[in-house]
Amino acid sequence: MVLMGESTTDDNIMRVLANNFVQKLNSINLDEIQKKTFDRFEKFTKEIPGNLSNLSRAVETMRRYVQAIGAYVKAFQDIQPTLEKIKVLDALVLNLNKELESLNEKLKKTQEENEKLQRDQLENQEMLKEAELQLKLLESELDTARNLVKNLEHS
């Protein structure tokens, strides 16, 4: 009754038992049961005196069922903080993966820019060599022209 959020009056117990009790019991969301709810009636789930359990197999079965639910709730309470940490870490990993993807895209763009700069540098070096070669040719032609002028002046 406590698990279903119902009061434990005799009338209420009879009403719940008459209206699909087992189905209601199976429909309880065990993850939402607070540990303090089980602490309230833990003494009733301990070992029932032999003469009482012999009188009612239903009582013994119900006690074991509630004990099993209690064990589940205790285990869930123990792992709940870990599950919450896992959710936080999953979100962190997702964000880090997005950041990594963004950084990889930036790296790819930087590498492409670097490759273009290297191609431009090679092109510029070739143009510089060509310009130096043309300069040498022009200097040679200038020397030749100076020599011609000298020779003409002396003749």
**Average pLDDT of the segment spanning 126-151:** 95
Query: For residue range 23-40, what is the model confidence (pLDDT) as tens digits?
Result: 766 677 766 766 677 666
98/91 Cα distance (integer angstroms): 11
Q: How many CB atoms lie within 10 A of CB 70?
A: 19
Which residue type sits at 132?
Answer: E
Given a contact cutoff of 8 angstroms between Cβ atoms, the answer to whether 25 and 3 are in contact is: yes
Cα distances (angstroms) measured from residue 71 to each of 66, 115, 148: 9, 64, 113
Which is more confidently placed, 149 or 41? Answer: 149
Residue 57: its H or E element: helix 57-154
89/20 Cα distance (integer angstroms): 42
Domain range summary for the chain, segments of one domain joined by + = 33-154
Mean pLDDT over the full length of the chain:
80
List of residues 6+ apart from 59 with CB closer than 8 A: 48, 52, 53
Percent of the chain with pLDDT over 90: 43
As given in the structure block, the two tokens for residue 22 are: 């087992």
Residue 138 has pLDDT above 80, yes or no: yes
pLDDT number for residue 25: 66
Which is more confidently placed, 3 or 45? Answer: 45
C-alpha Rg value of the chain to the nearest Å: 45
pTM of the prediction? 0.45
Given a contact cutoff of 8 angstroms between Cβ atoms, the answer to whether 21 and 60 are in contact is: no
pLDDT number for residue 153: 87
Pure H helices in 19-56: 21-26, 35-40, 42-45, 50-55
pLDDT number for residue 119: 97
Query: For residue range 56-107, what is the model confidence (pLDDT) as tens digits?
Result: 666 677 777 777 877 887 787 788 889 899 999 999 999 999 999 999 999 9
Q: How many CB atoms lie within 10 A of CB 92?
A: 10
Question: Chain centroid to CA 1: how far?
Answer: 39
pLDDT number for residue 118: 97
